[in-house]
Amino acid sequence: MTEASHFWIINVRIPNCFIDSSIRSPNLEINRSPTLERDRLFACHLEIRDGQITEILPSSKLSQIPTESLSIIDGKQGIMIPCFTDLHTHLDKGHIWERSPNLDGTFQGALNGIYADCTEQENWKYEDLYRRMEFGLKCSYAHGTRAIRTHLDCPPQQFDTTFKVFTELREKWQEKITMQAVSLVQLSYFEGVEGEKFADAIADIGGTMGGVAYMVPELDQHLDRIFTLATERNLNLEFHTDENDDPESRTLHHIAEAALRNNFSSQIVCGHCCSLAVQDEEVANQTIALVKKANIGIVSLPMCNLYLQDRVADRTPRWRGVTLLRELDAAGVSVTLASDNCRDSFYGFGDHDLLEVFSMGTKISHLDTPYDNWIESVTSRPAALMGLSDVGKIGIGETADLVLFKARSYSELLSRSQSDRTVFRNGMAIDTTLPDYAELDDLIG
């Protein structure tokens, strides 16, 4: 769109939550539009210089912009947000659907599909993993994603190859996407000398320790071990928790207790937390209070939950599968949304597009009444939980990593796919062409 290093993007609407109140308050008198009021959008103009945002002016101050000698992009009242951060993905599993589909759509079918593809058929060789993971990165980048955390399956025969591919891609893509990795194993994996070596291997790649928590008798013992190993290595933690509809499944509660018991000070993120939504209110509220106290961030995976939860053959699902997003948010917990799986046996669809995640999450969880600051759930909040202080922000001095939509309200934003969005990286509009599916034909068959 422009090659100029100094230009203005005029007539855009930015969600209030991204704009410093000192910039926003003079404009309050002017924001009389019902759409702006209801959607909490700030009408303004942005100056970009050498890839950075250097000025944000309220819409009323258009006449102050020196238009003669500068390039001007007219946003035509479109919504603008910071680039996305995808907190919870599985790039290593992605895009194997045609090779290893989930024919009954159940959680067990999903586990079987991955086991067959990774372990039985030994498909996850270097090239296979590299190209599938990079395909996911290409999609993410084109859709406007700036940072991604991926879980990595780590069966003993696999993790050397997987870690090698991850670190190579992280280096190759570092200018475009900040990548983080989390181990995905059973919690018992961290027991003994082998567990210590594995924790060292995670530390060596600058990863996050993680695994799937189940309600086994040894759960608290496993958690204490993991918190000790993580503390010794100064690592963050991320768990898959309670991805089921069993009210007795309370691993989130156990993790919060373990965090407090171990005085853990690094960041913890827990994903899914589906069963919280089927527990008695009092029981759920106790857990939510503990989660808040332990400063645990929550990531909900609404599309994957809708797909796998409450799936029984020949029966229509009654439950949407998501956790108590609103209640956690009301308690002051940082609640985020992310992609999770993409075109694999855990989720047969997806395209690494966080606008789709936000759109689906909003509709599944009724986040539209009001929209409030929920757009933060796919931008600034996940960036903060990943410790990325320079990502997910729109402010003077921040890098101009922005997504501009033609949609002028949330209703317009969440009604179309917005495939014609403009993604600015370092102030430059990038090519948003998606990779061709045929790129992977020789791998997937």
Residues taking part in catalysis: 243
Query: 117 or 340: whose CB is closer to Zn ion?
Result: 340
Question: Which secondary-structure segment (H or E) carries 210?
Answer: strand 209-213
Query: 210 or 427: whose CB is closer to Zn ion?
Result: 210
Footprint (CB under 5 A) of Zn ion, residues 311-370: 340
How near is the Cβ of 240 to Zn ion at its closest, in Å? 6
How near is the Cβ of 403 to Zn ion at its closest, in Å? 24
How near is the Cβ of 111 to Zn ion at its closest, in Å? 12
Q: From residue 412, how far is each of 13, 40, 45, 364 by CA, in Å? A: 13, 14, 21, 17
Comparing every residue's Cβ against Zn ion, the nearest one is: 340
How near is the Cβ of 210 to Zn ion at its closest, in Å? 10
Footprint (CB under 5 A) of Zn ion, residues 132-171: none
For residue 401, give the nearest of 411, 391, 388, 389 by alpha carbon: 391
Contact 254, 213 (CB under 8 A): yes
Q: Are strands 84-89 and 145-153 parallel, antiparallel or unpaired?
A: parallel
| Residue position matching structure tokens 């373990």 | 258
What number of chain residues touch Zn ion (CB under 5 A)?
A: 1
Query: 19 or 226: whose CB is closer to Zn ion?
Result: 226
Query: 92 or 329: whose CB is closer to Zn ion?
Result: 92
Beta bridge partners of 151: 182
Tokens representing residue 352 in the block: 């690494």
| Residue position matching structure tokens 């309370």 | 250
Query: 340 or 401: whose CB is closer to Zn ion?
Result: 340
Measured CA to CA, the distance from residue 18 to residue 41 in angstroms comes to 10
Measured CA to CA, the distance from residue 259 to residue 290 in angstroms comes to 10
How near is the Cβ of 171 to Zn ion at its closest, in Å? 24
> What is the DSSP secondary-structure string of 388-431?
-TTSS--STTSB--EEE-S--SHHHHTTS--TT-EEEETTEEPP
Footprint of Zn ion on this chain (CB under 5 A)?
340
